[in-house]
C-alpha cells in the first residue's frame, strides 16, 4: 500500500518543474514496480542546473537566480517539498543535471505489497473461451488452470461468456456468468446467469462470484456456531444499525446500539460491564471511533481488557496502523459478510450451540436475504435514508466536497444492506473529482439513476408486504 495523495503531490511537483523549465525538446517519465518499491525516472531537456544550484536544490531557503523566477514564474522550490515528502515516506530522490542540457530525477518510494486474493480457489473448474485479457489473467490465477477452454465434468463447473449466452450452449455447468460491455449496472442476475460489467471490469466482483459459487456448488457452506456475549455497537447510520443488529442477533448475541461515540463513552463510563465487546464505526460525528477508543483506554481502566473492533470502508495499511496505535484489537473492513464477522468475534467470545441454517436460495433483490420483519424494517429505513441522500446528491452535483461526503454515506448504507450496484457506483463516484469530466458525469448519473430505480422497487415491495 502507498499513500496515493503524497505520491500525487510528488509527481505533480516534479512534472510542474519540468514543464516550467523545458521550452524545447521533451519530458519523459518511466515507472517500474518491484517487490519493495515504486520507482520513477523523470527526464527533461530543459534549462538544467548549475553545480552550485544543484548542491542546494533541496534547501528551501536558497533560491535560484531571480531572473529565472521572472522568466519561468518560479524558482523550482517544489523539489524541497518533494524531498520532505519522501523523507516522511521513507523514500529517496537523486538528481543529475547539466546546465543547458537538462535534468534526470530518480525517485524511490517503498511500498508494502498487499495480496487481496489467494493463489487459487480449490474445487471449481472454470470455463472461459472469451478474449478479455484481464479476465483471462485473473481466472488463471484464481482457478489454477493453465487452460480455461472447457468443462470436462458436469459438477462444480463455472462457465463464463462474453456478451451473451450462446445458442445451443452446454447447460451442464453449475453456473453461468456473462461479461457485458453495455451493462447499465455493475451486476444483474436472472434465472439462467449472473451478468457483470466487462467495461469497466472489476476483478473483485468476479472473484466474489467465484468464491460464493464455490461454496454453493460444492455444498460446503459453513454454518457458524452461535456465540455467547453482550455487544455494544456505536454506529450513526440507521441502515447499518439494523443490519449489524440482525447479524449479531443471528449469532446468538445480546445487542445494544448507540448512535455515536459520545453515547458509547457515556454508556461504558456509567457501567463498564455493560458489554463484553465493543464494535464501533471509525467515522462518526461528535466523537469518532478512533477518539472513542483512545478515551476508553485512557480513562476507564475497568474496560482495558475488553476487545474493541472498528468498522471502516478504508482498507489500507495506514488505516490498520492508525487503528493499532489508537487501541483497536481488530478492524472489520466494509462491506463484510456474516462469516467474517463471526470469524473476528469468535476470537474473543465463547461458543454456544450451533445455529440452524436458513435457506438463502433465489436471492434476486437485497431484501430477499432477510426475514419478513427485518426486511420491512430495513426497506422502510432504506427508503427514508436514500430518498434524503438522493435529494442532497442532486443539489451537490457541482460541489465536489459535499458530493464526496454524500457518496461516502450512500456507499456505507448500500454495503450494509447488500445493495451491490448502488455500493459500487457510489464508490466509483467517491473516487472521482469534477475535473475528471466525462467519467465524473457518468458516475454521477449512474448513481442517481440506480437510486431512483431501487427506491421505486423498494416502495413497490413495501406496499405489497407492509401490513
Over the stretch 31-57, which tens digit does the pLDDT of each residue have? 998 878 999 999 999 989 888 888 888
In terms of pTM, does the model score above 0.95? Answer: no
Answer yes or no: is 353 within a domain: no
pLDDT for residue 70: 46
Structural domain ending residue among the three candidates 110, 143, 162: 110
Q: Are residues 13 and 100 in the same domain?
A: yes
- pLDDT above 50: residue 361: no
Instruction: List strand residue ranges (DSSP E) for 51-191, in order.
Output: 92-98, 102-110, 125-128, 157-162, 175-180, 187-189
Q: Which of 75-84, 181-190, 428-437 has the lowest mean pLDDT?
A: 181-190
Residue 212 belongs to domain with CATH number: 3.40.50
Q: Enter the DSSP assignment of 367.
A: G
Alpha-carbon separation of residue 55 from 16, 64, 95, 97, 256 (angstroms): 20, 11, 10, 11, 63
* pLDDT > 90 fraction of the chain, expressed in percent and rounded: 21
Q: Are residues 289 and 204 in the same domain?
A: no
Q: Are residues 152 and 102 in the same domain?
A: no
Q: Are residues 272 and 305 in the same domain?
A: yes
Among residues 405, 398, 385, 401, which one has the least CA distance to residue 451? 385
Answer yes or no: is 352 within a domain: no
Which residue(s) pair with 237 in the sheet? none
Could you tell me the strand order of the sheet in which 230-234 lies? 254-258, 230-234, 277-281, 307-312, 330-333
Q: How do residues 171-217 score in pLDDT, each as one tens digit?
A: 555 677 878 776 655 666 655 577 787 777 777 678 777 766 644 44
Segments forming the whole domain that contains residue 184 = 125-218
Q: Are residues 323 and 266 in the same domain?
A: yes
Q: Are residues 138 and 166 in the same domain?
A: yes
Structural domain ending residue among the three candidates 162, 192, 218: 218
Q: What pLDDT band is residue 88 in, cutting at 50, 70 and 90?
A: confident
* pLDDT > 70 fraction of the chain, expressed in percent and rounded: 74
What is the average pLDDT score of the chain? Answer: 78
pLDDT for residue 103: 94
Answer yes or no: is 165 within a domain: yes
pLDDT for residue 355: 42
Cβ pair 139, 131 in contact under 8 A = no
Q: Are residues 303 and 380 in the same domain?
A: no
Residue 278 belongs to domain with CATH number: 3.40.50.2300
- With cell 523523507, the residue in question is 87
Residue 415 belongs to domain with CATH number: 1.20.120.160
Q: Are residues 274 and 312 in the same domain?
A: yes
Q: How do residues 119-135 score in pLDDT, each as one tens digit?
A: 566 666 778 878 888 88
pLDDT for residue 76: 47
Answer yes or no: is 152 within a domain: yes
Higher per-residue confidence, 143 vs 307: 307
Q: What is the number of structural domains in the chain? A: 4
**Span 386-407, mean pLDDT?**
87
Q: What pLDDT band is residue 357 in, cutting at 50, 70 and 90?
A: very low
Amino acid at each position: 500500500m502507498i499513500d496515493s495523495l503524497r505520491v500525487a503531490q510528488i509527481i505533480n511537483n516534479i512534472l510542474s518543474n519540468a514543464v516550467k523549465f523545458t521550452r524545447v525538446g521533451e519530458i519523459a517519465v518511466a515507472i517500474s514496480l518491484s517487490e519493495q518499491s515504486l520507482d520513477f525516472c523523470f527526464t527533461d531537456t530543459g534549462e538544467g542546473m548549475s553545480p552550485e544550484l544543484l548542491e542546494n536544490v533541496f534547501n528551501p531557503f536558497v533560491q535560484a537566480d531571480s531572473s529565472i523566477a521572472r522568466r519561468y514564474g518560479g524558482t523550482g522550490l517544489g523539489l524541497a517539498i518533494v524531498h520532505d515528502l519522501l523523507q516522511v515516506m521513507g523514500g529517496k530522490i537523486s538528481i543529475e543535471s547539466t546546465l543547458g542540457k537538462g535534468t534526470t530525477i530518480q525517485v524511490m518510494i517503498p511500498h508494502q505489497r498487499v495480496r487481496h486474493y489467494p493463489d487459487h480457489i480449490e474445487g471449481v473448474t472454470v470455463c472461459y473461451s472469451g478474449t478479455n485479457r484481464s479476465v483471462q489473467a485473473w481466472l488463471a490465477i484464481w482457478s489454477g488452470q493453465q487452460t480455461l477452454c472447457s468443462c470436462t465434468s458436469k459438477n462444480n463447473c463455472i462457465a463464463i461468456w462474453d456478451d451473451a449466452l450462446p445458442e445451443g450452449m452446454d447447460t451442464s455447468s453449475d453456473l453461468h456468468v456473462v461479461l457485458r460491455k453495455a451493462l447499465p449496472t455493475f451486476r444483474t442476475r436472472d434465472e439462467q446467469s449472473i451478468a457483470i460489467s466487462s467495461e469497466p471490469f472489476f476483478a473483485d466482483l468476479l472473484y466474489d462470484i467465484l468464491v460464493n459459487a464455490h461454496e454453493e456448488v460444492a455444498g460446503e457452506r459453513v454454518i457458524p456456531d452461535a456465540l455467547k456475549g453482550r455487544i455494544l455497537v456505536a454506529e450513526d447510520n440507521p441502515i447499518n444499525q439494523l443490519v449489524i443488529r440482525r447479524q449479531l442477533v443471528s449469532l446468538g448475541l445480546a445487542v445494544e446500539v448507540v448512535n455515536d461515540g459520545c453515547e458509547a463513552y457515556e454508556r461504558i463510563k456509567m457501567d463498564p460491564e455493560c458489554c463484553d465487546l465493543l464494535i464501533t464505526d471509525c467515522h462518526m460525528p461528535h466523537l469518532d471511533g478512533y477518539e472513542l477508543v483512545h478515551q476508553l483506554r485512557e480513562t476507564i481502566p475497568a474496560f482495558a481488557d475488553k476487545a474493541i473492533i472498528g468498522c471502516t470502508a478504508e482498507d489500507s495499511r495506514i488505516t490498520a496502523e492508525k487503528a493499532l496505535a489508537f487501541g483497536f484489537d481488530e478492524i472489520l473492513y466494509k462491506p463484510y459478510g456474516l462469516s467474517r464477522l463471526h470469524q473476528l468475534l469468535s476470537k474473543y467470545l465463547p461458543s454456544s450451540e450451533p445455529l440452524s441454517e436458513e435457506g438463502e436460495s433465489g436471492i434476486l433483490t437485497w431484501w430477499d436475504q432477510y426475514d419478513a420483519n427485518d426486511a420491512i424494517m430495513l426497506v422502510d429505513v432504506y427508503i427514508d435514508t436514500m430518498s434524503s441522500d438522493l435529494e442532497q446528491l442532486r443539489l451537490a452535483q457541482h460541489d465536489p466536497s459535499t458530493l464526496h461526503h454524500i457518496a461516502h454515506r450512500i456507499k456505507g448504507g448500500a454495503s450494509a444492506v447488500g445493495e451491490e450496484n448502488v455500493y459500487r457506483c457510489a464508490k466509483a463516484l467517491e473516487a472521482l473529482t469534477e475535473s475528471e469530466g466525462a467519467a465524473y458525469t457518468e458516475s454521477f448519473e449512474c448513481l442517481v439513476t440506480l437510486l431512483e430505480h431501487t427506491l421505486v422497487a423498494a416502495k413497490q415491495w413495501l406496499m405489497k408486504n407492509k401490513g
